[in-house]
Structure 1
Amino acid sequence: MHAPDGFIDAPISAAAGVLAAGAIAVSLRGARRELGGTSRSSAAESGGERTAPLAGLVAAFIFAVQMLNFPVAAGTSGHLLGGALAAILVGPYTGVLCVSVVLLMQAFLFADGGLTALGVNITTMAITTAVVAYALFRGLVKVLPRTHRSVTAASFVAALVSVPASAVVFTLLYAIGGTTDVSISKVAGAMVGVHILIGIGEAVITALTVGAVIAVRPDLVHGARGLKQKLKLRVNGELVDAPDAEPEPAPAAARSPRKVWIAGLVTSLVLAGFVSFYASADPDGLEKVATDHGIDKKAEEHAYADSPLADYGVKDVDDARLSGGLAGVIGVGVTVVAGTGVFWAVRRRRTSETGTDAADATSPAHTNTTV
């Protein structure tokens, strides 16, 4: 659903850019809590330590899976948007940043998604999907049994709904600032219809990924924290909740996300470097609707259309398989480095602020003396 330049007029594109910038600023602040925990909870603090290195990997994984277009209808394909997956794995604020990093890499390195449309794409693909998915996910988790299976099921539904929600937001933006005179009702019907189908694929990918991480390291899934199932005991013929037992602290090696990080990175490299060659070549949902309904009449060529990695291929490499594979590997590498750098900086800022607050609290000026 990467909108190119020219679909939306300049004023609305600028307004979407301001909205996206504001949401990113809010997300940076919220991500400090998700990545750094809180000083009031040691459990949240340790969770933040594990989330920080995982966030960069999530961005790289989303980049890789977005290269895997899957067929959804005759002549139409779809790909992962990733907002639901990122929000559930690392938190909604960090999730918005993850997808935003991916969109920035795609726009500037691979000429995918217009530069003036970057605000539109962040609004539809990062903000809308993460916010809608996580809100629905939290609501479902509260009413479903407190099990890891419920987390996986809730992630399926949340991801499914997030994709047509993104299509609705794009349609609203186009209704306000579209550059061609087309029937908005027809565009809305086509966009929502095809993106419901794409949402099924998004839901399957999201649920499988969340379920796989939960199976090996449930503590790494932001949406699964605090969902311990109560142990039941039978007392006088009735089932009652067993008292909570204090778990023994796990050794440092067991808490380390290193194995999951390595496995995730290898998977991302394989998907982008090899599996992507077999992805569907059909246009995605937005491209198909734009062609069928004349939205693309004023589409503009990307400013970086001649860049060395444009269209997910390496310039001057004639072999299509090798060219696409190299571009995918480079994209995963750049995204994981950029994402990890961003989240490391956010985490470091949070740690610095927490340390300053703690130092201020113990300084003589803040110490009460009773006479």
Structure 2
Amino acid sequence: MHVPDGFIDVPVSVATGVVAAGAVAVSLRGARRELDERTAPLAGLVAAFIFAVQMLNFPVAAGTSGHLLGGALAAILVGPYTGVLCISVVLLMQGILFADGGLTALGVNITDMAVVTTVVAYALFRGLVKVLPRTRRSVTVSSFVAALVSVPAAALAFTALYAIGGTTDVPLGQVLTAMVGVHVLIGIGEAAITALTVGAVIAVRPDLVYGARGLSAPLKLRVGGELVDAAPAAPAPVAARSGGSPRTLWATGLVTALVLAGFVSFYASASPDGLEKVAADHGIDKKTEEHATADSPLADYGVKDITNARISGGLAGVIGVGATVVVGSGIFWTVRRRRTANGAGSGAGTVPAGNA
């Protein structure tokens, strides 16, 4: 759903740029409360993983494909504020290095793909985990539903922005129907990827999943005929928890992202994604402008002057994952250090005790 330059007029692009800048500023402050010495490296990995999975377009209908937006996944794994930053880093890397998503439309894309998806998904996720049984399975199910809803919500947000600042005269009803219809289908794929990823991390290191914190009900003991809360057990050492240290998870995740971007991406669907298809079918793309970095050595996810498509695309994907994890990790490490300098507590959270 990367909006290119020319879809939205200048005033609305500037306005969304202000909204995006404000959201990033608020998220930088909020992320200080979400990140600690264990989760800060994970946040950089989440950004790189989302970058990699976004390269894996999957078919959703005749001649149309979709890809992960990632707002729900990031918010549930590392927190909503950090999630906004993760997606913003991905969009920045894509726009600057790969000419994917317009630079003048960066505010539109951050507002739509980072802010809307994260806010909608995490609000729905928190509501679901409050009413469902307190188990790890509930977290996975809630992740599925939240991710599913977040994608058509982003489609609605784009339609609203287009209604205000669209550069072509297309009936709004047609745009709304087409955008929401195709993105409901894409949302199913988003939901499956999100639930599988969250479930996999919970199975290995549930204490590192932000959305799973505080879900365990206290152990009850019967004393004198009344139920009272038992004293909480001391946390197990990191090495004794399932999955070992966070470094093991980080290394495994990074290798997975590199394999997805460097190898599996070659087999992704070549069909246009939902927004591209709707734009082409309804004339939204009539005033599309050439990307400012269209001549970038990595434009269109290929390395310039390398003629072998498999090698070119795979190398570009590996470079993208590397750049995203370095930039993302640098940002999150800086945020964590500012938190430490301000004397904030670790806020590590509670490990859920429910079983899947």
Contact 1:83 1:95 in 2 (8 A): yes
AA partner of residue 243 (structure 1): A
110, 116, 120: which is aligned to 1:132?
120
1:250 and 2:248 aligned: no
Q: Percent of pairs identical after alignment?
A: 78
Q: Which runs of 5+ in 2 are unaligned?
A: 346-356
The Cα shift of 1:250 comes to 1.2
Question: What is the CA–CA distance in structure 2 between the aligned matches of 1:175 and 1:355, rounded to whole Å?
Answer: 43
1:115-138 superposed Cα distances (whole Å, 9 cap, x missing partner): 000000001000000000000000
1:268 and 2:265 aligned: no
Question: What is the CA–CA distance in structure 2 between the aligned matches of 1:110 and 1:239, rounded to whole Å?
Answer: 63
Question: What is the CA–CA distance in structure 2 between the aligned matches of 1:349 and 1:234, rounded to whole Å?
Answer: 45
1:290 and 2:279 aligned: yes
308, 314, 317: which is aligned to 2:297?
308
- Which secondary structure does the structure 2 equivalent of 1:171 belong to? helix
Query: Counterpart of 1:31?
Result: 31
- Which secondary structure does the structure 2 equivalent of 1:71 belong to? strand
How does the TM-score come out when normalised to structure 2? Answer: 0.93
- Which secondary structure does the structure 1 equivalent of 2:306 belong to? coil
1:122 and 2:121 aligned: no
The Cα shift of 1:20 comes to 0.2
Query: Counterpart of 1:361?
Result: none
Question: What is the CA–CA distance in structure 1 between the aligned matches of 2:291 and 2:226, rounded to whole Å?
Answer: 64
After superposition, the Cα gap between the structure-2 partners of 1:234 and 1:246, relative to the gap in structure 1 and judged at 3 Å, is closer
- Which secondary structure does the structure 2 equivalent of 1:300 belong to? coil
- Which secondary structure does the structure 2 equivalent of 1:282 belong to? coil
AA partner of residue 152 (structure 2): P
User: Which residues of 2 match residues 48-87 of structure 1 at below 5 A?
Assistant: 48-87=36-75
1:280 and 2:265 aligned: no
Query: Counterpart of 1:216?
Result: 204
Question: What is the CA–CA distance in structure 2 between the aligned matches of 1:189 and 1:249, rounded to whole Å?
Answer: 52
Q: Which shifted more, 118-127 or 248-257?
A: 248-257
Query: Counterpart of 2:173?
Result: 185
Q: Which runs of 5+ in 1 are unaligned?
A: 36-47, 357-371
Contact 1:232 1:239 in 2 (8 A): no
CA RMSD, 1 decimal? 1.9
306, 317, 326: which is aligned to 1:317?
306
Query: Counterpart of 2:100?
Result: 112
After superposition, the Cα gap between the structure-2 partners of 1:316 and 1:232, relative to the gap in structure 1 and judged at 3 Å, is same
Q: Which has the larger radius of gyration?
A: 1
129, 146, 150: which is aligned to 1:158?
146
Q: Which shifted more, 344-353 or 100-109?
A: 344-353
Query: Counterpart of 1:42?
Result: none
Question: What is the CA–CA distance in structure 1 between the aligned matches of 2:140 and 2:305, rounded to whole Å?
Answer: 44
The Cα shift of 1:249 comes to 4.1
After superposition, the Cα gap between the structure-2 partners of 1:32 and 1:184, relative to the gap in structure 1 and judged at 3 Å, is same
1:241-279 superposed Cα distances (whole Å, 9 cap, x missing partner): 762442244156757310000000000000000000000
Contact 1:152 1:210 in 2 (8 A): yes
